[in-house]
Amino acid sequence: MTRRMLVVVLATAVLALALAAAAPRALAVGFVDKQVEAGGLLLQNYVNTYGMTHGFAFPAPAMVKKGGGLEDATRIWPSNPWTGKLMGPGSSRGTYTYALRNAGTAYSLTMHLSSGKYVFKGTMPAWMKKERDQESKQSLLLLQRYVEATAASTHVYPATGAFTKDAYAAAVWPTNPWTLQPMALGTGVGDYSYAQKSGGTGYELKTTLSDGKSFVLVQFAVGALLTAPVN
């Protein structure tokens, strides 16, 4: 055997031994990463259960942790296989990052592995978003009737900031279908905003839909204000 051949054989043997030594470690790391993913499946189940029992309004990030208030999560909580401690939010291996998207109607749950990540996702059914957006539009039409009723008696539309639930205590005030609370002034999904225009002879009334767009009702009277609500 020549010297060159001997060097090649020895190098090949060293490489084979290195690969053999690395294989068990790679298998072990892969197994632990699978445990992290399994923990993510359990967390996703808790998040989905909460969403289904709350009209697909998914939990806030502060809730997705041990003791955060998720139903059924008090019995079993996954452990971080890398530390042996309870799995929690973070960015290191064996931790997770939970984030809401689309005004709380969708979420992502990112599991941090030894190298890379694995992402679980969930979202509200499209038909439910459409249904709730329709409820928001109908609620805004009801609010428009109140605005027009005020103008019919005062010949001026309500001032900006004056059109609130408290100012119409005797009226049936609509509910925000996303929060199940009375529709409130704001820019959140299902909230409403109102502004008087043209010195009291017009107004803009709008609500925010699930896609972030606005449904807007605008009225500008020509001459004197109408003496009866607009249907």
Question: In this structure, are 119 and 205 located in the same domain?
Answer: no
22-43 pLDDT tens trace:
456 667 788 999 999 999 999 9
Give a yes or no: residue 30 inside a domain: yes
Say what the pLDDT of residue 1 is: 52
Residues 7 and 104 occupy one common structural domain: yes
Minimal CA–CA distance to 158: which of 150, 167, 168, 169?
150
CA distances to 18, 27, 30, 32, 197 from 23, in Å: 9, 6, 11, 14, 73
Tell whether 133 and 175 lie within a shared domain: yes
User: 120 and 10 in one domain?
Assistant: yes
Question: What's the mean pLDDT in 130-148?
Answer: 95
- Are 9 and 120 members of one domain? yes
Of 86, 117, 74, the C-alpha closest to 99 is: 117
In a domain, 107, yes or no: yes
Span 184-204, mean pLDDT? 92
Res. 194: pLDDT tops 80: yes
Task: Give the chain's domain count.
Answer: 2
Residue 86's domain spans which residues? Answer: 3-124
Residue ending a domain, among 124, 151, 186, is: 124
Last residue of a domain, one of 104, 124, 144: 124
pLDDT tier, 14 (very low <50, low <70, confident <90, very high otherwise) = very low
| Residues 60 and 162 reside in one and the same domain | no
Lowest mean pLDDT of 9-13, 60-64, 93-97, 185-189, name the range. 9-13
Q: What is the pLDDT of residue 228?
A: 39
pLDDT band of residue 130 (cuts 50, 70, 90) is very high
Q: Is residue 185 part of a domain?
A: yes
Q: Would you say residue 152 has pLDDT above 50?
A: yes
Q: Are residues 107 and 39 in the same domain?
A: yes
- Residue 132 and residue 120 in one domain: no
CB 183 within 8 A of CB 143: yes
Q: Are residues 56 and 167 in the same domain?
A: no
Q: Is 9 exposed, middle or buried (0-12, 13-18, 19+ CB in 10 A)?
A: exposed
Q: Is this model's pTM higher than 0.85 or not?
A: no
Residue 117 clears pLDDT 60, i.e. is over it:
yes
Instruction: Classify residue 159: in a domain, yes or no.
Output: yes
Look at 142 and 21; give whichever has higher pLDDT: 142
| 139 lies in the same domain as 204 | yes
Whether 47 is covered by a domain: the verdict is: yes
Among 107, 124, 141, residue at a domain's last position: 124
The whole-chain average pLDDT of the chain stands at 85
23 and 79 co-located in one domain: yes
